[in-house]
């Protein structure tokens, strides 16, 4: 162990509740992040099922307009800020030190601070629902002047601002930690070009967080000043500018999309090689593509503003198109990894294949709406809802489940049940596509997003009923997962260090790993040191 690593080893932790509350161990903080984000996922998913139930039939009165507006605001805010991003943060917290052979994160106390800020931020957003005018109801995008105090008078909007602000600061702190840890804390032999792809993707993600989240924090602060201190930054009746909100918000909001997907590119890049029994294809290309995507994504924010008539559409359109190229490279690399492999369709791999199938459609519709003439019709319609869910639901969420099934044994020392896992996959895969595919057609036909009801015209009723039916199938898939957790935990069937015959260093140590992570490390001579140790006849020697 290097001298740096020795200093960072924390004193033995307590295993009771107080031990968890006060822990600065990256594995515990990672696990807390993962469990908390799954908790928010259940709530945000339940809100979605209520919305789909309201929209099952035209002119339904199950949910009032005011309640519906709170539902989609909380659903979007939670899924984006409290589920998809923090799950990745949790996974990275757990994995990065293990993958690079380090005993902990670079700043363990900062790490704990981030988690608690995130948790209280999330709870603050939801507790807004208990105020007299209810939770925030201006959408997760909180467009000003709609979110200004003249229109959104409630305390719920303020709690949303404060909550999301806390989460964004927590995320920035975490990004500092990830970058520092990955650059400084690598074990001897773990050169930059041997870092597992997941850790690379988290470095790219952290850089994006670094550049994008301060813009969100600034916008939220300005909005708060507008609401309570007469700032009028976004209020045109006092010389403020409504378009400014969109710039500040999307300067964060588009890189955020990649903050929500790059970690999951990393997840599938870790899992596909293991279940194909091959090294990742085009490691260097994958890493370069991650940074190309991150770089380009900083210059495309105004493709969310094509219909404002306030931006130079062709510039932002061009850069948006360009993102398709590195994303395509990744797809071909994943296919190249499976090509002539020996593929096992265990549950983690099934979810990866589901990810590829779904995300591909989200990518294709993404290129479509990068064309302003198409966006003029698609923008703010259900086509966008479909596109965005194919990326974040069919993409990120499927990778979340892949990660859960793959790393569960490492985190908790037991495997999840395979048969229930496959049931969960098929329910989610079929349910997802039945829910979201019809939304493309709804959008083209003319259904705007964020509506609490719709008229009985055209194929609106049919397609909406279909989408609602699909959401119930997805709900069943989530129940199957919860049941799987109960069954597998009760069985207490402990696994060894490396149940999947995997590649990276986290599979060298016990499951779950000891507090100090590693008793010893294998020689690190390639990007898959554990595979090398188990297959000395194939292992690359020397420079690797």
Partner 1 sequence: MHGQMWPSPATAQASVLANDWLLFGTAGLAVAVIVWGLILFSVFRWRRKGQTEGPLPPQFDSNNPLEIAWTAIPLLIVLALFVYTYRAEADVERLAPKPDVIVDVNAYQWNWTFAYQGGPTVQGSFADPPQLVLPLGETVRIVLTSSDVDHAFWVPDFLFKRDAIPGHPTSFDLNPSKLGTYLGRCAEFCGFDHALMDFSVRVVSSSDFNRWRSAHHT
Is 149 a binding residue for partner 1 by CB under 8 A? The answer is no
Is 307 a binding residue for partner 1 by CB under 8 A? The answer is yes
Per CB under 8 A, the list member of 23, 36, 37, 69 interacting with partner 1 is: 69
Restricted to residues 268-287, the positions that interact with partner 1 (CB under 8 A) are 276-285
The least distance separating partner 1 from the CB of residue 167, rounded to whole angstroms, comes to 22
Is 77 a binding residue for partner 1 by CB under 8 A? The answer is no
Q: Six-digit token pair at 183?
A: 């650059």
Per CB under 8 A, the list member of 110, 155, 322, 430 interacting with partner 1 is: 322
The least distance separating partner 1 from the CB of residue 178, rounded to whole angstroms, comes to 26
Is 9 a binding residue for partner 1 by CB under 8 A? The answer is no
Q: Which is nearer to partner 1, 364 or 479 (CB)?
A: 364
Binding string, residues 196-235; x marks residues near partner 1 by CB under 8 A: ----------------------------------------
Q: Which is nearer to partner 1, 148 or 201 (CB)?
A: 148
Residue with tokens 């999951």: 264
Is 452 a binding residue for partner 1 by CB under 8 A? The answer is yes
Q: Which is nearer to partner 1, 13 or 139 (CB)?
A: 139
Is 345 a binding residue for partner 1 by CB under 8 A? The answer is yes
Is 389 a binding residue for partner 1 by CB under 8 A? The answer is no
Q: Six-digit token pair at 378?
A: 């698609």
Given the rule CB under 8 A, which of 107-115, 131-139, 252-260, 414-422 is the region that contacts partner 1? Answer: 131-139
C-alpha dihedral (109, 42, 435, 392), degrees to nearest 10? 0
Return the DSSP state at 540. P
Q: In Å, what is the CA distance from 201 to each residue of 173, 254, 397?
A: 17, 17, 17
Per CB under 8 A, the list member of 357, 469, 485, 533 interacting with partner 1 is: 357
Is 18 a binding residue for partner 1 by CB under 8 A? The answer is no
Given the rule CB under 8 A, which of 11-19, 82-90, 187-195, 340-348 is the region that contacts partner 1? Answer: 340-348
Q: In Å, what is the CA distance from 68 to each residue of 65, 91, 278, 328, 453?
A: 5, 32, 48, 37, 9
Per CB under 8 A, the list member of 159, 449, 467, 468 interacting with partner 1 is: 449
The least distance separating partner 1 from the CB of residue 353, rounded to whole angstroms, comes to 6
Given the rule CB under 8 A, which of 114-122, 189-197, 217-225, 364-372 is the region that contacts partner 1? Answer: 364-372
Restricted to residues 152-181, the positions that interact with partner 1 (CB under 8 A) are none
CA–CA dist 325, 258 (Å, integer):
15
Q: What 3-state DSSP class applies to 135? A: strand
H or E segment to which residue 377 belongs = helix 372-378
Restricted to residues 456-495, the positions that interact with partner 1 (CB under 8 A) are 457-459
- For residue 144, give every residue at least 6 positions away whose Cβ sits within 8 Å of its Cβ, in sequence order, or none: 223, 226, 233, 234, 235, 242, 245
Q: Which is nearer to partner 1, 50 or 243 (CB)?
A: 243
Q: Which is nearer to partner 1, 455 or 523 (CB)?
A: 455
Per CB under 8 A, the list member of 13, 328, 413, 499 interacting with partner 1 is: 328
Is 138 a binding residue for partner 1 by CB under 8 A? The answer is yes
Among residues 122, 32, 14, 128, the alpha carbon closest in space to that of 77 is found at: 122
Q: Which is nearer to partner 1, 113 or 333 (CB)?
A: 333
Distance of CA 5 to the CA centre of its chain: 30
- For residue 188, give every residue at least 6 positions away whose Cβ sits within 8 Å of its Cβ, in sequence order, or none: 2, 524
Quick one: CA dihedral 500, 264, 183, 333, positive or negative?
Answer: positive
H helix intervals, 146-261: 155-184, 197-229, 242-259
CA–CA dist 53, 61 (Å, integer):
11
Q: What 3-state DSSP class applies to 500? A: coil
Binding string, residues 231-250; x marks residues near partner 1 by CB under 8 A: -----xx--xxxx-------
Q: Kindly determine how many residues on this chain lie close enough to bind partner 1 according to the rule CB under 8 A.
A: 86
Q: Which is nearer to partner 1, 143 or 412 (CB)?
A: 143
Residue with tokens 């990778």: 399
Q: Which is nearer to partner 1, 183 or 238 (CB)?
A: 238
Q: Six-digit token pair at 88?
A: 């990745």
Restricted to residues 285-304, the positions that interact with partner 1 (CB under 8 A) are 285
User: Which residues partner with 156 through β-bridges?
Assistant: 135
Is 364 a binding residue for partner 1 by CB under 8 A? The answer is yes
The least distance separating partner 1 from the CB of residue 480, rounded to whole angstroms, comes to 22
Per CB under 8 A, the list member of 332, 412, 426, 472 interacting with partner 1 is: 332
Q: Which is nearer to partner 1, 100 or 353 (CB)?
A: 353
What number of other Cβ atoms are within 10 A of residue 489's Cβ?
12
φ, ψ of residue 222 to 5 degrees: the values are -60, -40
User: Which residues partner with 346 through β-bridges?
Assistant: none
Q: C-alpha angle 503/272/514, rounded to 5°?
A: 40
């Amino acid at each position: 162990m290097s001298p740096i690593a020795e200093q960072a080893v924390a004193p033995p932790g307590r295993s009771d509740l107080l031990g968890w509350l006060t822990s600065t161990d990256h594995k515990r903080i990672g696990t807390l992040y993962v469990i908390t984000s799954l908790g928010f996922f259940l709530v945000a998913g339940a809100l979605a099922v209520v919305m789909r139930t309201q929209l099952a039939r035209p002119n339904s009165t199950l949910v009032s307009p005011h309640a519906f507006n709170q539902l989609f605001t909380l659903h979007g805010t939670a899924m984006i800020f409290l589920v998809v991003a923090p799950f990745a943060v949790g996974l990275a917290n757990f994995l990065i030190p293990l993958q690079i052979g380090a005993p902990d994160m670079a700043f363990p106390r900062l790490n704990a601070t981030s988690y608690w800020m995130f948790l209280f931020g999330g709870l603050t957003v939801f507790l807004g629902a208990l105020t007299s005018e209810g939770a925030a109801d201006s959408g997760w995008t909180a467009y000003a002047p709609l979110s200004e105090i003249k229109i959104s008078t409630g305390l719920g909007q303020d709690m949303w601002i404060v909550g999301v602000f806390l989460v964004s600061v927590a995320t920035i702190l975490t990004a500092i930690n990830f970058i520092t840890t990955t650059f400084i804390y690598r074990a001897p032999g773990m050169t930059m070009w041997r870092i597992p792809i997941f850790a690379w993707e988290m470095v790219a993600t952290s850089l994006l967080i670094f550049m994008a989240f301060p813009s969100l924090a600034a916008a939220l602060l300005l909005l708060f000043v507008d609401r309570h201190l007469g700032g009028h930054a976004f209020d045109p009746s006092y010389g403020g500018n409504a378009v400014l909100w969109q710039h500040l918000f999307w300067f964060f909001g588009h890189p955020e999309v990649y903050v929500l997907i790059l970690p999951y590119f990393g997840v599938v890049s870790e899992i596909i090689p293991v279940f194909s029994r091959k090294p990742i294809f085009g490691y260097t290309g994958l890493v370069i593509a991650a940074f190309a995507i991150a770089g380009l994504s900083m210059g495309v924010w105004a493709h969310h503003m094509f219909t404002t008539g306030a931006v130079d559409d062709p510039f932002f359109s061009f850069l948006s198109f360009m993102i398709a190229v590195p994303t395509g490279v990744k797809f071909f690399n994943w296919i190249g990894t499976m090509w002539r492999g020996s593929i096992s369709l265990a549950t983690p791999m099934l979810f990866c294949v589901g990810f590829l199938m779904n995300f591909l459609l989200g990518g294709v519709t993404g290129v479509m709406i990068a064309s302003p003439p198409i966006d003029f019709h698609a923008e703010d319609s259900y086509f966008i809802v479909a596109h965005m869910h194919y990326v974040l639901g069919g993409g990120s969420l499927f990778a979340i489940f892949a990660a859960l099934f793959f790393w569960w044994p490492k985190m908790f020392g037991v495997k999840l049940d395979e048969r229930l896992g496959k049931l969960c996959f098929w329910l989610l895969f079929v349910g997802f596509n039945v829910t979201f595919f019809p939304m493309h057609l709804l959008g083209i036909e003319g259904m705007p997003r964020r509506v609490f009801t719709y008229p009985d015209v055209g194929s609106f009723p049919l397609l909406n009923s279909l989408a609602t039916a699909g959401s119930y199938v997805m709900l069943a898939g989530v129940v199957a997962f919860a049941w799987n957790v109960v069954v597998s935990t009760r069985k207490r069937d402990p696994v060894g260090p490396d149940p999947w015959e995997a590649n990276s260093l986290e599979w060298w140590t016990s499951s779950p790993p000891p507090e100090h992570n590693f008793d010893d490390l294998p020689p690190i001579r390639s990007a898959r040191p554990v595979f090398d140790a188990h297959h000395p006849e194939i292992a690359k020697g020397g420079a690797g």
